[in-house]
């Protein structure tokens, strides 16, 4: 019945209900919370979402979810609430007990100690409020016993005791005409000094005092939210009109959950109720109903984030909405005859026909009525209703597949099926004036709406269609008429290269499903390959501002607002104001595939859309549709595990040319994938990461040079964020390209040349001095040998040229590169070495200029060189050796083949990417599986505990429920262990050191384990061999390690004691866990650290467990650079020793 009432609302009829069903995401992007119960939500200035749950505070950047640091969490004894002030600062505070405040949220936290003596009574409700920005910010803390206000410098403005019985709960605070107004549960008060002065509301009488009063700038109006009502007024003390009332549900909790927020001209509100939306556009407030699937009767919190996404937190889970444009109904949400709606027909006067595979239903003001039911069994749609057509004369015609043509008499309500000729099924029926066009896969019948039923199949124009198609008949889907009187026939396409349409003066036959005549000689066609238009005798894609629809299109509609609709296999496309909008299951539609007879305009421009999964109703006046952009934040470069200053211009040695970049790309829109773009230089193309699973970028083996990282994000190339940049940074040249090394090389060559020249002149002048000549000749030979060794042994190709054009000489390595002999190369032209001379001509002039400009410094470049022997990726270094060598420039060029290096680097990158992707897939799969298991499991455990509390006197039931509870907890522990292993293998378990008093911290870990041991009749002793000492440890890892090892010792020990010994040797922490349990065999010790290993297996297992504890412990110890060893033997006990370094 709910669907019937809702349909009446949609079309402006008299109604009794107002609940609406909209598509929502029950697993918001990047949000993984440990519990379903979400109490509060806030969004910080970076765009991250913060959540308050019974298990603590968590925040998400849309990719990962992070817990509150342990150092902050341990300071709170009760449930933590969240508040964001107008400066964007996140405040956390105790919601019960005694007040405790901390602020921050952007990498650091600060505890706020007010110079106030708090009332020591336990408070069951603490609230924090703020007003103003910057230095004008004021904060108000209400404990039910005290009201305290302070400014941005933590200076207390006032402190007063208050009477909770008289005033009740504080709901909101605002400033009006310089006066601070406080809205309490039992009245409105003004602050005068340190006194509360009662204020009387004027205007209309309200059912009770308002909890919340807020100003809406868009409406220029104050809105009042109280128990069971919403009102408005231009003055916060003068309500003028009640907008809604009696919407609260029966109270199931002692706490009140309420809020009031705005989006443009819409007011969202709830008070122990579902979330409601009020707008002047609609007669009735809109209830966003979550009772159906979540089974919640009152939400905890609602909000709209900066992207326009609507979030709702409840006791049964967190959901978000990307759109309220579509109201949806499927088989589980109303009285539909079946899930798939195949056709929709308009009877007029707000009455409609809905066609299904198995029958027809009529929706009217009075009832939902099944007027025809297929006599064949379900699942055999022989009489599928394909379309309806109202002839305007009291009859609705419809096609019914093998059932033939149907007639529905609007006045009498009777249905008549006219059976088709044998072997013929009907796929479409169309009324054109008095003409009736009936289409079957192989036949088209032309008749009149006034013809007797026995005559409507008499005139078949099959032969005429066949003649136009060269005596071929393909599967025909629909037929109708154009404004020029020609018949249009839609058929299935045969081959991709066949002409898509054929026409003459009587007929037009085209491939596709549907057609829409925009104007004479301009016809839209819905085809298998997209939306096409036929104009000027040419069929071509229909483009809207450069975009087109390339998916199969099944149905077309032009509504009364001149908007075009195209139903496809991926939702509907709306063409409006030369803009293409796409709607599918991701952004609100109930199903993706639209049936070709189920696209219809109803009253007030609302569109009815039938899909395989139900029906969607489009609200033309609804403007809530998320369309924001993601945000990108650059954090820092991480080098060797150290985060570097993001604002400092950095310079790295060439050996440190691989590093990680930490960033955030924050976005929660799930209608399209998030894309992250990055590049290191403005002249480079953007690299794109689609749907990133981590917030780190990795750069390896960067060449030397100057860089500046640029980052931006989008949703599949739309809605771009702002581009952010890092501080400039650079990578130094390698040693062999640094100036001092080049100068040393040049000096060596010059010295060698001088030496050779000197020997030659001495030989000419003093040829007769044989002994001297012999000595010098020997030295010359030594120098020549040394030069020759350098020249011939170099793996790089060396070439001496004159002005870069004529080769003086080359070394063997260069000759090998070009696959020629050294003797063939000497005194030849450089241009002859290339496979096409244009390469040399193009670069020689700029090459010579750069050499002369840099002179003795030289320069390096990389290029694909087209040698005649084959193209090679080369790194080329060139330097001027001598300016006046035979009147020209002598140039040394060093050639290095980097083709193999680049190929290896690419293979390494590809292998790394594949490994990371595989690991991400595995981690994602485990996370998804764990979520899907943990959600019902938490429900089972919670329900079991609740029943045990309610039926605690039923001993037999309690014993059975205790088995369920223990089994569930064991399964939950197994899932947690699997997730821990997945995180370790995916390198998501980062070591985070905290300086602590180690003895004190270990004592706090062991305390609950002592209770566990006592319940089994064991004694857990702790021995600290060193006086208290301070050290840096990862608290989370140490706690997991000790929990695993001591829990194992308790499990496998039946009597006696367990001893934990703590010592410090040099700079290492030594932990030893000794028990007197069953011990391990020597064979099992060799595989004790392997996952899923247990000594007792199969039906003879003596102890429960997953066999993952020691494997997780071993991995955690390895991450801490520590060592673990086990000494054990059967029936004598086990000793596990850990040695963990303590960093300085």
pLDDT in tens, 808-846: 888 888 888 888 888 888 888 888 888 888 888 887 777
pLDDT the model gives residue 461: 94
Q: Which of 615-619, 692-696, 734-738 has the weakest average pLDDT? A: 734-738
CA-nearest of 524, 510, 457, 521 to 479 is 510
φ, ψ at 1123 (rounded to 5°): -130, 150
- Domain end (from 960, 988, 1016): 988
CATH number for the domain spanning 1036: value is 3.30.565.10
- Domain end (from 988, 1005, 1025): 988
324, 623 in Cβ contact below 8 A? Answer: no
Please report whether residue 699 resides in a domain.
Answer: yes
Please indicate, yes or no, whether residues 978 and 1011 belong to a single structural domain of this protein: no
CATH number for the domain spanning 665: value is 2.60.40.10
Task: Report residue 773's pLDDT band, with 50, 70 and 90 as the boundaries.
Answer: very low
Task: Report residue 1024's pLDDT band, with 50, 70 and 90 as the boundaries.
Answer: confident
HSE on the CB side for 953, CA within 13 Å?
0
Which DSSP helix (H) or strand (E) runs through 853? helix 837-854
Contact partners, residue 899, CB within 8 Å, separation at least 6: 872, 873
Domain range for residue 926?
Answer: 788-988
Contact partners, residue 564, CB within 8 Å, separation at least 6: 516, 524, 556, 557, 558, 574, 575, 576
Pairwise pLDDT comparison (959 vs 122), residue with the higher score? 122
142 token code pair:
């209400």
Please report whether residue 920 resides in a domain.
Answer: yes
DSSP 596: E
Please report whether residue 679 resides in a domain.
Answer: yes
- Does residue 972 register a pLDDT over 80? no
Pairwise pLDDT comparison (880 vs 529), residue with the higher score? 529
DSSP 1050: H
* Most confidently predicted of 253-267, 301-315, 1101-1115, 1124-1138: 301-315
pLDDT in tens, 205-233: 999 999 999 999 999 999 999 999 999 99
892 forms beta bridges with 800, 879
Q: Which of 17-21, 358-362, 1070-1074 has the weakest average pLDDT? A: 17-21
Question: The whole model's pTM is what?
Answer: 0.63
pLDDT in tens, 540-577: 999 999 999 999 999 999 999 999 999 999 999 999 99
Please indicate, yes or no, whether residues 696 and 823 belong to a single structural domain of this protein: no
Residue reference for tokens 């300086």 = 995
CA separation for the pair 430, 438 (Å, rounded): 6
| Exposure string for 89-113, b = 16+ CB within 10 A, e = fewer | bbbbbbbebebbbbbebeeebeeee
pLDDT the model gives residue 750: 87
Q: Which of 190-204, 401-415, 709-723, 888-902 has the weakest average pLDDT? A: 888-902
Please indicate, yes or no, whether residues 838 and 979 belong to a single structural domain of this protein: yes
Please report whether residue 358 resides in a domain.
Answer: no
Please indicate, yes or no, whether residues 635 and 722 belong to a single structural domain of this protein: yes
Please report whether residue 479 resides in a domain.
Answer: no
Task: Report residue 513's pLDDT band, with 50, 70 and 90 as the boundaries.
Answer: very high
CA separation for the pair 215, 267 (Å, rounded): 11
464, 470 in Cβ contact below 8 A? Answer: no
Task: Report residue 27's pLDDT band, with 50, 70 and 90 as the boundaries.
Answer: very high
pLDDT the model gives residue 982: 67
pLDDT in tens, 111-151: 999 888 888 888 888 999 999 999 999 999 999 999 999 99
Within 10 A of 369 (CB to CB), how many other CB atoms are there?
13
- Domain end (from 735, 758, 778): 735
pLDDT in tens, 721-737: 999 999 999 999 887 77
Assign 255 to helix, strand or coil. Answer: coil
- Does residue 709 register a pLDDT over 90? yes
Please indicate, yes or no, whether residues 663 and 681 belong to a single structural domain of this protein: yes
Please indicate, yes or no, whether residues 967 and 1038 belong to a single structural domain of this protein: no
Averaged pLDDT for residues 631-654: 91
CA-nearest of 1076, 1075, 1094, 1074 to 1084 is 1094
| Exposure string for 235-246, b = 16+ CB within 10 A, e = fewer | ebbebeebbbee
Helices within 40-194 (DSSP H only): 70-73, 164-167
CA separation for the pair 415, 405 (Å, rounded): 11
- Does residue 657 register a pLDDT over 80? yes
Please indicate, yes or no, whether residues 808 and 879 belong to a single structural domain of this protein: yes
CA-nearest of 119, 28, 114, 42 to 80 is 42
- Does residue 603 register a pLDDT over 90? no
Please indicate, yes or no, whether residues 1134 and 1080 belong to a single structural domain of this protein: yes
| Exposure string for 23-49, b = 16+ CB within 10 A, e = fewer | bbbebbbbbbbebbbbbbbbbbebbbb
| Exposure string for 742-768, b = 16+ CB within 10 A, e = fewer | beebbeebeeeeebeeebeebeeeeee
Task: Report residue 597's pLDDT band, with 50, 70 and 90 as the boundaries.
Answer: very high
717 token code pair:
């190339």
Please indicate, yes or no, whether residues 700 and 829 belong to a single structural domain of this protein: no
pLDDT the model gives residue 693: 87
HSE on the CB side for 566, CA within 13 Å?
32
- Does residue 980 register a pLDDT over 70? no
- Quote the number of domains for the chain: 3
Task: Report residue 15's pLDDT band, with 50, 70 and 90 as the boundaries.
Answer: very low
| Residues above pLDDT 90, as percent of the chain | 48
How would you write 467-509 as a 3-class SS string? HHCCCCCCCEEEEEECCCCCEEEEECCCCCCCCCEEECCCEEE
Please indicate, yes or no, whether residues 984 and 995 belong to a single structural domain of this protein: no
- Does residue 4 register a pLDDT over 50? no
Within 10 A of 654 (CB to CB), how many other CB atoms are there?
17
Please report whether residue 4 resides in a domain.
Answer: no
1111 token code pair:
């494997």
Please report whether residue 750 resides in a domain.
Answer: no
CA separation for the pair 1104, 1101 (Å, rounded): 7
734 token code pair:
């390698």
CA separation for the pair 688, 106 (Å, rounded): 27
Q: At what angle do helices 1035-1051 and 998-1015 cross, to 10 degrees?
A: 30
CA separation for the pair 935, 761 (Å, rounded): 94
1058, 1046 in Cβ contact below 8 A? Answer: yes
- Does residue 767 register a pLDDT over 70? no
Residue reference for tokens 């400033």 = 175
The CA dihedral of 516, 519, 521, 527, to the nearest 10 degrees, is -20
How would you write 911-943 as a 3-class SS string? HHHHHHHHHHHHHHHHHHHHHHHHHHHHHHHHH
CA separation for the pair 202, 187 (Å, rounded): 13
Within 10 A of 163 (CB to CB), how many other CB atoms are there?
11
CA-nearest of 760, 540, 726 to 634 is 726
HSE on the CB side for 1093, CA within 13 Å?
14
CATH number for the domain spanning 897: value is 3.30.450.20
CA-nearest of 609, 531, 525, 588 to 344 is 609
Please indicate, yes or no, whether residues 822 and 877 belong to a single structural domain of this protein: yes
pLDDT the model gives residue 795: 80
Pairwise pLDDT comparison (766 vs 697), residue with the higher score? 697
Please indicate, yes or no, whether residues 864 and 929 belong to a single structural domain of this protein: yes
- Does residue 934 register a pLDDT over 80? no
Please report whether residue 608 resides in a domain.
Answer: no
Averaged pLDDT for residues 160-177: 92
């Amino acid at each position: 019945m709910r669907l019937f009432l809702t349909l009446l609302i949609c079309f402006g009829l008299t109604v009794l209900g107002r609940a609406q069903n909209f598509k929502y995401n029950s697993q918001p992007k990047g949000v993984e919370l440990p519990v379903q119960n979400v109490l509060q939500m806030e969004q910080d200035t970076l765009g991250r979402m913060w959540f308050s749950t019974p298990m603590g505070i968590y925040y998400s950047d849309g990719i990962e979810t992070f817990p509150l640091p342990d150092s902050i969490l341990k300071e709170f004894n009760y449930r933590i609430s969240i508040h964001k002030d107008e400066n964007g600062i996140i405040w956390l505070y105790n919601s019960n007990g005694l007040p405790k405040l901390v602020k921050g949220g952007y990498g650091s936290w600060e505890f706020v100690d007010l110079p106030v003596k708090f009332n020591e009574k336990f408070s069951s409700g603490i609230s924090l409020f703020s007003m103003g920005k910057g230095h004008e910010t004021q904060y108000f803390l209400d404990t039910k016993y005290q009201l305290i206000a302070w400014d941005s410098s933590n200076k207390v403005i006032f402190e007063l005791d208050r009477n909770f019985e008289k005033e009740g709960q504080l709901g909101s605070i605002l400033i009006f005409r310089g006066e601070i107004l406080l809205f309490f549960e039992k009245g409105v008060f003004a602050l005068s000094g340190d006194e509360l002065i009662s204020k009387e509301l004027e205007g209309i009488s309200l059912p009770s005092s308002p909890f919340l009063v807020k100003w809406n700038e868009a409406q220029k109006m104050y809105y009042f939210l109280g128990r069971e009502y919403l009102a408005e007024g231009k003055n916060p003390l003068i309500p003028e009109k009640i907008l809604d009332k009696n919407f609260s549900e029966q109270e199931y909790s002692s706490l009140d959950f309420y809020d009031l927020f705005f989006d443009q001209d819409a007011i969202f509100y709830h008070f122990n109720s579902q979330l409601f939306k009020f707008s002047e556009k609609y007669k009735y407030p809109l209830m966003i109903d979550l009772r159906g699937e979540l089974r919640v009767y009152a939400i905890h919190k609602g909000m709209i984030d900066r992207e326009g996404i609507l979030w709702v937190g409840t006791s049964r889970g967190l959901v978000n909405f990307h759109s309220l444009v579509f109201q949806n109904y499927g088989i589980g949400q109303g009285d539909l005859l079946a899930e798939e709606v195949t056709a929709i027909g308009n009877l007029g006067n707000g009455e409609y026909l809905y066609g299904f595979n198995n029958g027809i239903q009529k929706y009217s003001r009075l009832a939902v009525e099944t007027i025809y039911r297929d006599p064949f069994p379900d699942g055999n749609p022989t009489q599928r209703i394909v379309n309806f057509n109202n002839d305007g004369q009291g009859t609705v015609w419809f096609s019914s597949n093998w059932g033939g043509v149907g007639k529905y008499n609007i006045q009498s309500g009777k249905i008549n099926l006219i059976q088709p000729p044998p072997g013929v099924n009907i796929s479409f029926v169309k009324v054109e004036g008095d003409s009736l066009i009936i289409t079957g896969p192989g036949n088209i019948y032309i008749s009149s709406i006034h013809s007797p039923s026995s005559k409507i199949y008499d005139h078949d124009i099959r032969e005429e269609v066949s003649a136009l198609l060269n005596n071929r008949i393909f599967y025909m889907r629909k037929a109708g008429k154009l404004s020029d009187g020609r018949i249009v026939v839609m058929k299935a396409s045969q081959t991709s290269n066949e002409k898509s349409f054929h026409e003459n003066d009587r007929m037009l036959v085209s491939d596709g499903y549907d057609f829409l005549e925009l104007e004479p000689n301009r016809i839209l066609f819905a085809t298998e390959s997209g939306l096409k238009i036929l104009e000027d005798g040419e069929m071509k894609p229909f483009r809207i501002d450069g975009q087109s629809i390339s998916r199969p299109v099944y149905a077309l509609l032009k509504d009364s607002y001149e908007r075009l609709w195209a139903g496809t296999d991926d939702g509907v496309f709306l063409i409006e104001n030369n803009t293409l909008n796409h709607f599918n299951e991701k952004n609100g539609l109930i199903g993706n595939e639209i049936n070709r007879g189920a696209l219809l305009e109803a009253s007030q421009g609302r569109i009815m859309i039938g899909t395989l999964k139900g029906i969607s109703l489009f609200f033309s006046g609804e403007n809530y549709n998320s369309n924001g952009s993601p945000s990108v934040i650059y954090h820092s470069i991480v080098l060797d595990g150290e985060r570097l200053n993001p604002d400092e211009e950095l310079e790295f040695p060439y050996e440190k040319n691989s590093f990680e970049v930490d960033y955030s790309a924050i976005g929660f829109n799930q209608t399209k994938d998030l894309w992250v773009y990055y590049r290191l230089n403005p002249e480079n193309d953007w690299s794109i990461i689609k749907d990133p699973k981590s917030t780190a970028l990795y750069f390896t083996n960067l060449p030397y040079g100057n860089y500046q990282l640029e980052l931006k994000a989008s949703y599949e190339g739309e809605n771009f964020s702002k581009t952010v940049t890092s501080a400039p940074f650079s990578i130094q040249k390698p040693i062999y390209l640094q100036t001092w090394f080049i100068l040393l090389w040049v000096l060596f060559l010059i010295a060698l040349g001088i030496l050779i020249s000197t020997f030659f002149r001495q030989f000419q002048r003093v040829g007769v001095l044989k002994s001297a000549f012999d000595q010098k000749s020997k030295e010359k030979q030594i120098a020549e040998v040394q030069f020759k060794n350098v020249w011939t042994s170099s793996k790089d190709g060396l070439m001496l040229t004159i002005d870069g054009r004529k080769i003086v000489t080359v070394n063997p390595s260069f000759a090998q590169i070009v696959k020629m002999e050294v003797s063939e190369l000497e005194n030849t032209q450089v241009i002859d070495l290339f496979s096409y001379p244009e390469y040399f001509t193009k670069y020689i002039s700029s090459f010579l200029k750069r050499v002369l400009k840099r002179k003795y410094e030289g320069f390096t470049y990389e290029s694909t060189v087209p040698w005649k022997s084959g193209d090679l990726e080369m790194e080329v270094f060139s330097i001027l050796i001598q300016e006046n060598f035979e009147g020209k420039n002598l140039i040394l060029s060093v050639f290095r083949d980097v083709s193999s290096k680049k190929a290896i680097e690419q293979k390494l990158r590809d292998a790394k990417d594949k490994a990371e992707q595989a690991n991400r897939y595995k981690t994602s799969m485990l996370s998804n599986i764990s979520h899907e298991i943990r959600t019902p499991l938490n429900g089972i455990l919670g329900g079991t505990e609740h029943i045990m509390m309610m039926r605690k006197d039923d001993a037999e039931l309690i014993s059975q429920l205790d088995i369920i509870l223990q089994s569930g907890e064991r399964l939950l522990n197994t899932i947690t262990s699997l997730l821990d292993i997945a995180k370790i293998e995916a390198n998501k378990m980062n070591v985070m050191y905290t300086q602590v008093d180690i003895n004190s911290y270990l004592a706090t870990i062991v305390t609950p384990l002592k209770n566990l041991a006592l319940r089994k009749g064991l004694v857990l002793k702790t021995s600290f061999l060193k006086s208290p000492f301070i050290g840096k440890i990862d608290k989370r890892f140490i706690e997991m390690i000790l929990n695993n090892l001591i829990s194992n010792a308790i499990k496998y020990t039946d009597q006696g004691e367990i001893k934990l010994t703590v010592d410090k040797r040099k700079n290492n922490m030594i932990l030893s866990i000794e028990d007197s349990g069953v011990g391990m065999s020597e064979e099992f010790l060799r595989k004790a650290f392997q996952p899923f290993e247990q000594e007792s297996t199969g039906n003879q297992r003596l102890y429960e467990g997953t066999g993952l504890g020691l494997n997780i412990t071993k991995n955690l110890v390895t991450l801490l650079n520590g060592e673990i060893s086990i000494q054990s033997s059967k029936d004598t006990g086990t000793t596990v020793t850990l040695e963990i370094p303590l960093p300085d």
